[in-house]
Amino acid sequence: MRILGRVPLVGEIEVGGAKNLALPAIAASILTDEKVMLSNVPNLTDISSLLDLMTHLGSDVNFDSEKHLLELSTKAIKSTIAPYDFVRKMRASILVLGPLVTRFRKASVSLPGGCSIGARGVDIHISALRHLGADISIENGYINASAPNGLIGCDITFPITTVTGTENVLMAAVLGKGTTRLINAAMEPEIVALCELLNEMGAEISGVGTPIIIVEGVDSLHGTKFEIMPDRIETGTYAIAAAATDGKLLLKNCKCEHLSSFFEILSLTGVSYEKTAEGVLVYNRNKKIHPVDIQTAPYPGFPTDLQAQYTVLMSMCNGTASISENIFENRFMHIPELSRMGANISIHGKTAVVTGVSKLKGAQVMATDLRASVSLVIAGLIAEGETIINRLYHIDRGYENIEAKLNGCGASLERFSV
């Protein structure tokens, strides 16, 4: 992508559906033989990758990407194997493990791929499913699970807060026998919405939105219609882009309540935001960015998925800010690329110390993961001259029509091949 910077973003951007809800919602359709209809589904490569896997398993998939409507029906199954060629493209493919083993009593899922931002081991998923009674082995790079007599409810305490782990075990437990309690469960809005979807399908889940989720197993689930909520990470990303470029953006179709800690921090930096009937209006009235330290944390703390974008904002601050990454150990890979553009950032263990500079300069940079790639886009928007971002395919995993959305607000982004 070629970006010409130093242009304020002014206009409106429609926030798409939440990728991090759509993915487990798609996997949840495995739990019933009836049709599940999802609306506001984003058209992203991560979604396409999981739908390809669902088709391979035997689901009937009908996705109208322009209308963002998705119909899924898994009346039967052709295979309970999720092969390497599918799973290597995206870590969230492991979300089919719980639904497959609880409904069809067996599954074989390749160890997952995705962004290289940390170990993110699957041992928590495996341990929890074993507690539920699944027999699991790892052979030739595959997780092989079987539960010929079904899963049995129990208490499961997660050693660390895990979003994907909570989702996988939650979906496994809904068709188990008896009561399952998930202790130290993740509380992200996407978890809450997944529980709402499952309850609409006939599950019996309580404690939603708390660290202890209680699941009463049921014999079967039924189909439903469900709307995917707005993507809070896309909302935060464009809010930072508005602030960094001294612009003014109305972000439509978003839920500020899902980003309370983020907007609290953003306001401390001097950036203004106003909730409206359509969404949220973000602008930088004072044209200065105050340094504000952050630490990433599980919800409701500052999201790790907005850390890279926030680092770019702090690179233009009037002073020095520290950014501590407490979720993923390798999530500073964007910093060497920002340094190529003139940012003044040093890394001390899990903390990045950012001293603001007067300007960034365009350069050739390389995207290393999804959120790093969009942080480089924001850096390109504020830099002098031309920025070229290589390995842009990462961005298509989480941001739909990013060129059209930003160019419609005054930016100059162009994708090209070499």
- Active-site residue list: 115
Using an 8 Å Cβ cutoff, are 173 and 151 in contact? yes
Using an 8 Å Cβ cutoff, are 54 and 90 in contact? no
| Phi-psi category of residue 256: left, alpha or beta, with phi > 0 → left and psi -120 to 50 → alpha | alpha
| Distance of alpha carbon 205 from alpha carbon 23, whole angstroms | 20
69-73 and 279-283 strand pairing: unpaired
| Distance of alpha carbon 149 from alpha carbon 142, whole angstroms | 22
Phi, psi of 53 (to 5 degrees): -65, -40
172, 194, 210, 214, 216 from 180: Cα distances, Å:
10, 16, 15, 6, 7
Question: 74-112: buried (b, 16+ CB within 10 Å) or exposed (e) per residue?
Answer: beeeeebbbebebbbbbbbbbbbbbbbbbbbbebbbbbb
| Distance of alpha carbon 379 from alpha carbon 24, whole angstroms | 31
Phi, psi of 88 (to 5 degrees): -60, -25
How many residues are listed for the chain in this entry?
A: 418
| Rg of the chain on CA atoms, in Å | 21
> In 3D, which of 136, 156, 49 has the Cα closest to residue 93?
49
3-state secondary structure 222-286: CCEEEECCECHHHHHHHHHHHHHCCCEEEEECCCHHHHHHHHHHHHHCCCEEEECCCEEEEECCC
* Residue 128: Cβ within 10 Å count: 25
Using DSSP's 3-state secondary structure scheme, residue 353 falls into strand
| Distance of alpha carbon 369 from alpha carbon 373, whole angstroms | 6
Cα four-point dihedral sign 274, 278, 279, 283: negative
